[in-house]
Chain A
Amino acid sequence: GDSVTQMEGPVTLSEEAFLTINCTYTATGYPSLFWYVQYPGEGLQLLLKATKADDKGSNKGFEATYRKETTSFHLEKGSVQVSDSAVYFCALSADSWGKLQFGAGTQVVVTP
């Protein structure tokens, strides 16, 4: 079945550091890929997405590129802020219904 694997956290960084969260997937066909972010006590918000190979999703300084050859969708940000502290979920959608398969989530803690 479809699955998403992302690096375990927590990831602790200083403000202005570079952030990478690795995400790899297994799926039949050509899934859409997503990064969702969950701030404390909140629901999930879409951060960015990519619907086909080599697409780059970007938002709020975050980027991720859909790499079919390595089945990866790594999230990066060049300079994190304290406000980026949250849990980040990589997810895929591989069918017409749009149901999401999530990774385990990676907690990111950014310190001043």
Chain B
Amino acid sequence: DAGVIQSPRHEVTEMGQEVTLRCKPISGHDYLFWYRQTMMRGLELLIYFNNNVPIDDSGMPEDRFSAKMPNASFSTLKIQPSEPRDSAVYFCASRPRDRALEAFFGQGTRLTVV
């Protein structure tokens, strides 16, 4: 398996623009997580899905953030409108059903909002 695939790897956008980050989890994994990494706050959980259903989005910072998982092989994280403070590295991770097994992370998307 190719692992968790995120795109794009880097995104530079202007303040106010819409940004969409994409994630393809590992096939057969039931859980998908979106994390954000910043210098100030470290790694934060934004939202997670189980079998394509959002379970908890309490980590989403504002209504400007939304996430979807239309099918088992694809998820998006959208920011509209984007702001400079959204600049961060966004990671997607997926995990199998067996709780004893670990989560696998994608390479991340480095977002810069100017």
Q: Distance (Å) between the CB of B101 and the closest chain A CB?
A: 8
1/0 per residue, CB under 8 A from B, across A94-107: the answer is 00111111111100
Counting contact residues on chain B (CB < 8 A from A), the size range is 20 to 34
A-B contact count (CB 8 A): 50
- Contact for B105 among A44, A93, A97, A98, CB less than 8 A: A44
B42-A102 in contact (CB<8A): yes
- Contact for B108 among A43, A97, A105, CB less than 8 A: A43
A100-B45 in contact (CB<8A): yes
Q: Taking the complex as formed, is A42 at the interface, i.e. its CB lies under 8 A from any CB of chain B?
A: yes
With contact pairs A99-B45, A99-B48, A100-B45 given, residues A32 and B108 touching in the complex (Cβ less than 8 Å): no
Supply 22 A–B pairs (Cβ within 8 Å), ascending by A.
A34-B102, A43-B4, A43-B106, A44-B91, A45-B105, A51-B100, A93-B99, A96-B99, A97-B48, A97-B50, A97-B55, A97-B56, A99-B33, A99-B48, A100-B35, A100-B45, A100-B93, A101-B45, A102-B42, A102-B43, A103-B42, A105-B42
Which residue numbers of B lie inside 8 Å of A, CB to CB?
A: 4, 31, 33, 35, 42-43, 45, 48, 50, 55-56, 91, 93, 95, 99-100, 102-108
The 3 closest A-B pairs by CB, nearest first: A102-B43, A43-B105, A44-B105
